[in-house]
Amino acid sequence: MKFLDVITCLVLLVTLSNAQSPYNSISHGIILDEMDASSLAQGSIGLIPSHNSRFSTLNPATWSDLRFTYLTIHYNGGEIQYPDRDFKTEFGRLTNAAFIVPIKEKYAWGFGLRPYSRKQFSIEDDKIAPVIFSGDTLTVTKKVDGTGGISSFYSAGSWKINKDYALGLQWEFLFGVFDEEDTTFIDNRHTYYRRHFEFKATLLSLFLRSSQLESSRHSTIYVGLKFPIGRQKIIETDSPMFAERDRKPSQRLSLPLSLYGGLVYHMSRHTHFGFEILNRWFSESKPSVLNTLAGREENASRISLGLLRERIPGSQRFFNRLHYRIGFFRREHYISRSKKDLKELGIALGFGFPFGNTQNQIDIGLRVSKREGFLTNESELIRLITIGVTIGDIWLVKRRRR
C-alpha cells in the first residue's frame, strides 16, 4: 500500500504541474451566483429588484408589496469555451424555484430551492509517467472523477414596517453529497480510491429596504447580510481498495460572511438604474473541501450596474408591453493562486414579458463573461442563458358577495 500511495502522490503532482487549461472549466465547487432570469439579465445578484422595479424573487424584503401569490421556476444553461483551443463544455441546471405568498399587504412568506455549489468533472492525465521500481520500468497514469454538490432549501419572511421600511429574514438549509474516485493505472492494471462527503449547514440572511429617499432623491436603498449559524459539518468516508471503509469524524465546513449593498435610482416612471456591491469573507484561511481547487480562501468582491426599462401599462404597442434589461459586472473570486486575484468581467441583457390579470411573466436573460484561468494563464469565455416562468394567483383573499 505504501508503494501505491507513493505512486498516487507522484502522478497527482505530475498531473497538476502539466494540467491542461480545460481543467478550469470543471465545476469545482465555488459558490454559485444566486440568480433568476431577470437578475441575470440585469447583471445583478438579486438584491435590487429586477422582476420589475419593486420586486425581486431573491430579496424577501421586496415580497410584502406583492398583490398575488407567485410560483416561479428558472432554468440556467450555458457553455465554457477557450477561444484559442478546440475545447468547449456545456451544462444545464435548475437555478431557482420559489413559492411566495403575500399576507394582508403587510407580510409575506415563501420557500424555495436552488443550487449552492456544484462539482462535476472527469480529468485524465494525457501523459504517461515512467517509474523504475525494482529494476522494472512501469507506466503510470491517473484519472479523477467527481460528481455531486450542495443545494439550498430556504424559507423566508417579509414584514412591511411602514411605507418607507421593509425587513426580510431568510433561513437556508444546505445539504448535499459529493463523491470522488481516483483511478491509478499501472501497466494496464488499475486501483481505486473513493471518497464520499456529506454536507450539512445552516445560513441566516437579513435584508432591509429603505424608500425614505424616494420623494427627495428618487432613490431606494437595499442592504443584505448573510452568515453561517449553528453547526456546519462535513462527514467524510474513505474507501481504499482492499481495505475497510474509514469514516472520519465530522469536519467543520468553512462558509463565508457576505455583505450586500444596493441602490436604485428612479430616472423616470419606467426607467430605473441599479447599483450593487458584494463583499465576502471566510473566517478560516485554510483550504476547504467545499472546493476542488486548492488555493487561498480569503475575500471576494463583486460590483454590478444595471438598467431596467419597465413596460408601459395600458399601451397597445407590443414592444411597450415588455421589460428590457441590460447590465455589467466585475468580480474577484475568493479562490486564488500564486497570490494573484482571479477576475471576471461580464455583460448581460434580456427581457421580460408580463401577461394575464395576475401579472404572470416570462423572463429571458443572457450573459457573457471572460474569466481568468485558475490553473493557467489562459482565459475562458462563459456564456449563460436563463429562462424563467412566474405564475401568479390569488391566495388568502376572501371573495366578497355581491
Span 73-101, mean pLDDT? 86
| pLDDT tens for each residue of 9-46 | 433 333 333 334 455 555 667 888 888 999 999 999 99
Domains in the chain and their CATH numbers?
2-393 (2.40.160.60)
Q: Does residue 3 have a pLDDT over 70?
A: no
pTM: 0.85
Give, rounded to a whole angstrom, the gap between the first and last alpha carbons of the chain: 83
Q: What are the strands, taking DSSP E only, across 60-188?
A: 69-82, 87-103, 107-124, 129-133, 136-160, 165-186
Q: Please name the helix (run of DSSP H) or strand (run of DSSP E) that holds residue 11, with its range, or none.
A: helix 2-17
| Mean pLDDT, rounded, of the chain | 83
397 CB-near residues (< 8 Å, 6+ apart)? none
pLDDT tops 50 at residue 307: yes
Q: What is the pLDDT of residues 244-277, one digit of tens each?
A: 777 777 777 788 899 999 999 999 999 999 999 9
> What is the band of 390 on the pLDDT scale with cuts at 50, 70, 90?
very high
* pLDDT greater at residue 192 or residue 218: 218
pLDDT of residue 283: 74
Flag whether pLDDT at 109 surpasses 80: yes
Are the C-beta atoms of 358 and 71 separated by less than 8 Å?
no
Kindly tell me if the per-residue pLDDT of 399 is higher than 70: no
